[in-house]
Structure 1
Amino acid sequence: MTLEQARQVLGLGPTDDPAAHVDALSEARERLAAMVRDAPNDTIALRYQDSLQEYDRAMAALREEAERKRKEKVAPMMALVPGSVTGEPIDSKRGDFLKEPSPSTPFADKTPPEPESKPAEPAAEAKAVSDAADDEGTGSSGLRFALYAMIFILIGGAGGGWLYFHMEAEREARLKTELIFLEGVGGKLVEARRWDEARLAFGKIEGLDPGSEVALRGLRSIEVGMREEQEQFVGYWSGEALAAFEAGRLEDAREAADKVIKRYPKETEVVALRKKIGEARRAQLRSEAQEAVQAAIDEKDWEAAGESVAAFSLELPGDELIVSMTKSIEDAKELQRKEHQRARELADAARLRDQGQFDPQVLEWMREAVALFPDDPEIRALYEKVASYSRTIQIPGDIPTLEEALAQARDRDRLVLSEGTFEAGLAVNVAVQLEGAGEGKTILQSQAASSPALTFGPKAKGATVSGILFRQEGFDASENRYPVVQVRAGEVSFTDCIFRDGSGHGLEVIDGGRIEASRCLFEGNGWDGVAARGSGSRMVVRESRANANVGHGFEAWDEAVASIQDCIAKGNARNGILIDSAADGLNLAGNEVMGNREYGILLAAGASGVVSKNSSYANLLGGMLVRFASISVEVEGNRLESNSGPGLILEQGLRPEIYQGNTARKNRGTQVMSGARFSESE
């Protein structure tokens, strides 16, 4: 860089003395260094860094110019030194001492020639004095050599010292510039949360300037930033995981928790939450698999059932439920085989008894045969034949509405409803055969605040209903809510029907009414799925399901009798099955009760009966509760597993050894709790 360029960079005129502007130049340099540190990004920081280096080069050029001028000022003094750059050249004869001395002629033996006599000048006088001293003896030449050598050493030392300090100043300037640049870059990397790169930048500062306060502050800011980042990251994603977990979005919860654990594996609270999520997910997978398998079994779709088990095996290999579901499929296949055999036996019996006229026994046999084996064309044809002996009314083909058909119907008439939705809210007081199109295709509905969809009275004894979906529209929150279907003192059998969305019970049996329900679904009702109440009332339910009702799945109380076999009660807001009736003849056998919010089975009262071979699992308060009032009921062979409360709870006064025939395992807390106490209100 030229001197003129340096002055332009520093803002000095041609005649300005840099020494007079030292403070201002230093302050300007510090401002430029601050711009490097505070640059908004690396690109701008590099631009400022280039300017800072240019500024330092300019200052170095001026320092060199100042040093040159200083040397010019001392040049006259150097003129006194023979052989100097500014002094008189050393006479060739007198400069012989700088040459390599001859080996044969020692330096001390040489005698300089005498000078010619001429007018003395200042320098000549000095030379004459020196020559005179030389004439005094041979030792004078050694003194002269020592003097010259000392002068040259002083001159060389001064020049070398200046060069050393000049280079040292340049090195310090470059070091300071690099430290400022690294500090600025490190700060930007900390702001960008690029911790590893920031640590390298401040580590380099520490290497260049050991013990640097800048490096210490930078490394400390990295640690603080990393802690803040961890707290923010963990707080956000653990909150997301907890919220999703509480909302039942287990997959979202798992993904959120895994984000934290992958990055910060020592976050114990999140690890514990992840474990809970895993357990809940496992329970969910088990429940979904059971539902899928059960739905396939209900549809007799054995291939789909097997695929569901296989998919579950991939999710939870080795789970004991795999064996259980596989067995359920095999049992269902065997049951289907027996049902087909039973259907053929009933059809054979009906053929033998058929006399070409209406016979209620023949019709009942064939109705059951069709329900057991609906896809057999021979059984279906025989049923149509014996059913034709009674009058068949097609609705709306023969009569437009069900209300008109019921008004004209006689006992044993067959009323066949087509696919579609029919407004009902009707009373049935005749023993008709009411048939729908099946599988939810025929719908009878009523307004929840007005009436049940159908009410069967005493004169409907012997009525049959099949293949119809019953439901209510709207919701009634009054104390005396209507059920979806009510049987009052009549006797009705329901096959392949659905009772859904009622404000009250799905199916209610009162006033000594009796019902038999096979392969029915009671779902999403405001009270119980099926309820029987009052002396003489009786409910016989087989192979049916009561799911997600606000009350109990199945309930019998106030002297009603219940027989519930091979049914499922799942996800009800209270108990799966509640028996609170001091009537004889209780029969609960082969049922599965799961996922209910209270107990799987609650035996509050019972005069006599059998509760056997039921499976109760994953219920919130416990598997089965037996109150003292049920002491006469035989309870044995039941499996009570994986409930959130105890497996078996016995009220005070009941002896545990009487109930040893039941299996309680994998329940949280006590497997069998005896001596339990309850208040009168419980």
Structure 2
Amino acid sequence: MEEAKSVLGLGAEEDPVTRMGEFAEARERLADLVRNAPNETIATRYQEGLQEFDRAMAAVREEAERRRQEKVAAMMALVPGSVTGKSVSTKREDFHSTPVPPKKPVADPAPPQAESEVAPAVQAGPSDTPVDPEEEYNEPEPESTGLGLRVALYLMLFLVIGGAGGGWLYFHIQAEKDVRRQMEMANLERLAAKLVDGRSWKEAKEAYLQIEKLSPGSEVVLTGLRSIEFGMREEQEQFVGYWSGEALAAFEADRLDDAAAAAEKVLKKYPNESEVLELRDKIESARVSQVRTQWTEAIRAAVEIRNWEQAESGLSALAGELPGDELIRTLGKEIAAAKEKQQQEFGRARELAGAAKLRDQGAFDAQALEWMREAIALAPHDEEIRALYEKIASYTRTLRVPEDMATLKEALQGARDRDRVVLGEGVFEGGLAINVAVQLEGAGEGKTVLEAEAGEAPVITFGPGAKKATVSGVVFHKKGFDPAETRYPAVQLRGAEVSFADCVFLEASGHGLEVIESGVADALRCEFKGNGWDGAAAHGKDSRLVIRESRSTENYGHGFEVWDGGSASISECVAKGNSRAGILIDSAAEGIDLLANEVMGNREYGIVLAAGASGRVRGNSVYANKIGGMAVRFSAISMVVEKNRMEKNDGPGLILEQGLREDIYSDNVVRLNDGGNLVAGAQFEGNE
């Protein structure tokens, strides 16, 4: 065999069987890839490649072995005694034997070659004697035939080795490419998973799309994109749920700025969230309503004290916050009307003062004094009118506390009708009764306070003898709180007729001002605030309230109430923020008038007409009340209800009890109420 390989020029290292070792090394590399795969998916892919390699190697090995055997057989044919496997004589004499004739004709021998091309004779043995050319024997093939055989064998061996080696190289390159592709995919899978965990949806999607390019239709890509879609949806639900909840909670707590900020967080990221869009509209509407309410209160408070500069400054600020809002025009008209009214009042005060001056004879004149009281009420800051009032009032006896008398009690003990009792600045002890027609004057603007304990008598009680008594510029205050069933008011009129101007009725356990036993209270520019029951009340036959340009706020009962035969005329007043109704009329009395009042923000109804024999309810503005705007029972059918505005109440605007016709109340503006504008056929129970 070694001689044959030498003839062919082949070394042992070029044996195809020997080259199979290199293929084994390549297989081992693939096996390492399977063992060290980063995940099960990639390991499975490498295993499939390894199995394919093994099948290819088996085919190559089989083909190489077959061709190797053919080449070995061809080479052995060149060795005597090894070609056919028969016994061949090597004795010299055998070469001279007569050849066996062929069994069938043979082709003519090849043409003789040039002498130089003829290979030397093969030596038969150790002898150096050449064979006789004329002797007949089996001649070896010409050298050209051996060369052709060697070339053919080389070519065949090259094809075997080259084919096997080329196949291995091709498979090796493909395997390397597949390894790199699989490793790149594995890295991309890990990166995409981390991006999904970190909710970096855009980058994660890009990573999966790169995997798609490497492996079109990959299940990994489909699963990954679905996980991104699910994660984005889950993130949106969590984000929207949290911040919309924060917005709603802040909205319900009336923290509108916080509510708006939370809603904006959602809409900035997810602008099409319908529920949050709706909530934002509600927040904005509430904000507008809040701004309107705040500026309305501030501007009207400035108008009340006739601070025109402050009122107009507030109107400008409102126009800046809510440009074009109809309230700007409304309040502007109110300011202009209040200015005009002040001018008219000042003119009227001048007229009254002029008439009183003409009557002044240097002695007491009841008519002149009455005119001057009205003039000073209309123009309290006019120095000329004030001086004339002091002159005409001085014709009566004036008792000054504490200058002339140490206490109010001492002054009242000796007071007579038409006496003037003047209190200085400070807090004075109350719990007193007045039964004469005195003129009680304080220092004005909250400077004079009369006080009494909650569980004791009223601060002041006016008896029947106090007809035509007057009180101005005094604060009536009850200290502490008495939860008893019977509670004392701050001021009580028992059959008296008393006029109050610029007074305050404050924090009584009962009513702020109570009128009973046919008494009559006339209050101008007064305030009723923080009382345990109603701000001002009249009950009993012929008891009457006449309230003008006053305010009843934050009382634990109603702002104003009349019942059981009492009556009232309430005009140009404010009833706001009371725990029950702003105004309650529940009396079958004549002459009940509610004119041009502002009734808002009460926790029950704005106005309740439970009964009334006759009267007018006209030109009132009723808004932002909790249960509803105005409720009318059948017992109040005789009262004329017209030209009122019921707007933006939390409940219905106008509620009519069963039996009342809607057309009777058609001359009213009822709009923008959350509980509906008109509810007809309502059924009330008892005194509800």
The superposition leaves residues 590-617 of structure 1 with CA deviations (integer Å, 9 ceiling, x where unpaired) of 2222233333322222222333222333
Q: Tell me which amino acid in the other structure corresponds to 1:448.
A: A
Confirm or deny: 8 A CA contact 2:195 2:203 kept in the other structure. Answer: yes
Give the distance between the partners of 2:330 and 2:645, measured in 1 at CA.
13
Which of 511, 519, 540 pairs up with 1:513? 519
Q: Per-residue displacement from partner, 1:245-276 (whole Å, max 9, x unpaired)?
A: 22222232232233223333443333333333
Equivalent residue, structure 1, for 2:174: 168
Match of 1:450 in 2: 456
**CA 1:528–1:182: 2 relative to 1, 3 Å:** same
Q: CA separation in 1, counterparts of 2:209 and 2:584?
A: 73
2-structure distance, mates of 1:111, 1:520:
154
* Shift of residue 670, structure 1, vs aligned partner: 6.1
From 345, 356, 361, give the equivalent of 1:339: 345
Equivalent residue for 1:467, pick from 446, 462, 473 = 473
Structure 2 CA distance for partners of 1:21 and 1:571, relative to 1, 3 Å = same
Structure 1 pair 451–273 and aligned structure 2 pair: CA distance change class (3 A) = farther
Q: Which residue of 2 aligns with 1:604?
A: 610
Amino acid at match of 2:235: E
In structure 1, the partner of 2:389 is: 383
Q: Note the 1:351-430 alignment, pairs <5 A.
A: 351-407=357-413, 409-430=415-436
The change in CA–CA distance for 1:24 and 1:661 in structure 2 (over 3 A counts) is closer
Cα distance in 1 for residues equivalent to 2:217 and 2:491: 88
Once residues 196 and 190 of structure 1 are traced to their aligned partners in structure 2, the CA distance between those partners, rounded to angstroms, is: 9
Give a deviation string over 1:301-354, Cα, whole Å, max 9, x none: 333323333333344443332332222122111111111111111111121122
2:129 maps to what in 1? none
Residues of 1 paired with 2:451 and 2:120: CA distance?
150
Structure 1 CA distance for aligned equivalents of residues 610 and 185 of structure 2 = 84
Matching of residue 320 in structure 1 with residue 335 in structure 2: no
- Partner of 1:543 in structure 2? 549
Give, in whole Å, the separation in 2 of the partners of 1:165 and 1:615: 94
Match of 2:233 in 1: 227
Once the two structures are TM-superposed, the CA of residue 134 in structure 1 deviates from its matched residue by: 4.1
Partner of 1:294: 300
Corresponding residue for 2:266?
260
For 1:197-208, list aligned pairs within 5 A.
Answer: 197-208=203-214
Shift of 1:654: 4.0
Q: What amino acid maps onto 2:556 in structure 1?
A: V
Residues 662 and 471 (structure 1 numbering): CA distance in 2 closer, same or farther, change over 3 Å?
A: same
d(CA) in 2 for partners of 1:111, 1:340? 159
Answer yes or no: is 1:616 the counterpart of 2:625: no
Instruction: Say if 1:153 and 1:655 are closer, same or farther in 2 by CA, change over 3 A.
Output: closer
> Which of 247, 261, 277 does residue 241 from structure 1 map onto?
247
Q: 1:198 to 1:593 in 2, by over 3 A?
A: same
Question: Given residue 537 of structure 1, which amino acid in structure 2 is its aligned partner?
Answer: S
Decide whether aligned partners of structure 1 residues 248 and 208 sit closer, same or farther in structure 2, where only a CA change above 3 A counts: same
- Which residue identity lines up with residue 684 of structure 2 in the other structure? F
Q: Give 1:562 shift.
A: 0.7
Partner of 2:561: 555
Distance 1:341 1:148, change over 3 A: same
Matches within 5 A, 1:82-161: 133-135=142-144, 145-161=151-167
Taking the TM superposition and a 5 Å limit, the aligned residue runs for 1:44-55 are: none
CA distance in structure 1 between the aligned counterparts of 2:219 and 2:400, rounded to whole angstroms: 98
Shift of 1:385: 2.4
Q: Bigger CA drift: 403-412 or 276-285? A: 403-412
Distance 1:501 1:112 in 2: 148
Stretches of structure 1 lacking an aligned partner (at least 5 in a row): 1-16, 38-73, 82-108, 121-130
CA distance in 1, matches of 2:143, 2:623: 127
Taking a change above 3 Å as real, the CA distance of residues 404 and 149 of structure 1, as seen in their structure-2 partners, is farther
Amino acid at match of 2:242: Y
TM-score (norm 2): 0.75
Q: Kindly tell me: are residues 436 and 206 of structure 1, through their superposed partners in 2, closer, same or farther at Cα, counting changes over 3 Å?
A: farther
**Residues 145/592 of structure 1: CA separation in 2 closer, same or farther (3 Å cut):** same
| Structure 2, unpaired ranges of 5+ | 1-23, 43-63, 72-112, 125-139
Aligned equivalents of 1:429, 1:537: Cα separation in 2 = 18
1:209 corresponds, among 206, 215, 227, to 215
Question: Structure 1 length normalisation: TM-score?
Answer: 0.76
Cα separation, 2, equivalents of 1:217 and 1:671? 56
Residue in 1 that maps onto 2:57:
none
Q: Does 1:309 align with 2:315?
A: yes
SS at match of 1:625: strand
Change (3 A) 1:253 1:423: farther
- Equivalence for 1:503: 509
One-letter amino acid of the counterpart of residue 299, structure 1: I
Aligned residues: 593
The residue that corresponds to 1:637 in the other structure is 643
Mean CA deviation greater in 388-397 or 346-355? 388-397
Cα deviation code 1:377-436 (max 9, x no counterpart): 211222232333344444445545444444454444444444444453433344333333
The Cα of 1:143 is off from its aligned counterpart by 6.2
What fraction of aligned residue pairs are identical, expressed as a percent?
Answer: 59
Deviation, 1:529, is: 1.4
The SS at the match of 2:465 is: helix
Counterparts of 1:564 and 1:306, CA distance in 2? 28
Distance 1:513 1:165, change over 3 A: same
Distance 1:369 1:315 in 2: 40
**Residue deviations 1:357-388 (CA, integer Å, cap 9, x gap):** 33343333223222222222211222232333
Query: Displacement of 1:657 after TM fit?
Result: 4.3
What does the per-residue CA deviation read over 1:31-61, in whole Å, with 9 as the maximum and x for residues that have no partner? Answer: xx47xx9xxxxxxxxxxxxxxxxxxxxxxxx
Structure 2 Cα separation of the partners of residues 409 and 116 of structure 1: 175
Please name the residue that 1:491 is paired with. Answer: 497
Distance 1:289 1:375 in 2: 27
* 1:246 alignment partner AA: E
CA-CA distance at 1:114 after TM superposition: 5.9
SS at match of 2:449: strand
Q: Alpha-carbon deviation of 1:558?
A: 1.2
Structure-2 residue corresponding to 1:573: 579
Partner of 1:41: none
Comparing 503-512 with 160-169, which one deviates more in the overlay? 160-169
Comparing 672-681 with 21-30, greater Cα deviation is found at 21-30
Q: Secondary structure at the match of 1:458?
A: coil
Return the alpha-carbon distance in structure 2 between the equivalents of residues 346 and 400 of structure 1: 34
Instruction: In structure 2, give the amino acid aligned to 1:618.
Output: A
Could you say which residue in structure 1 is the equivalent of 2:54?
Answer: none
Deviates more, 1:407-416 or 1:477-486: 407-416
Match of 2:657 among 626, 651, 667: 651
Q: Rg larger in 1 or in 2?
A: 2
